[in-house]
Amino acid sequence: MSNNRWKRARIRPHSRIARIRQLVVSGNYDYSEKVRILIEEGWFDEDDIERCIETGFVCKKEKDEQRISVDGKKYTILGRDCAGVAFYCVGKIMKGDGAKLFFVITAHDQKGS
Spell out the domain ranges in the chain. 15-109
Q: Is the pTM of this model over 0.85?
A: no
- The dotted CATH code for 15-109 is 3.30.2310
- pLDDT for 1 equals 44
pLDDT value, residue 110: 76
Give CA–CA dist 113/109, Å, rounded. 6
Q: Based on the number of CB atoms within 10 Å of its own CB, is 58 exposed (0-12), middle (13-18) or buried (19 or more)?
A: middle
Divide the 113 residues of the chain into consecutive groups of 10 and give the mean pLDDT of each group. 47 78 95 97 96 96 95 96 96 91 93 56
Phi, psi of 42 (to 5 degrees): 90, 10
Predicted pLDDT of residue 98: 83
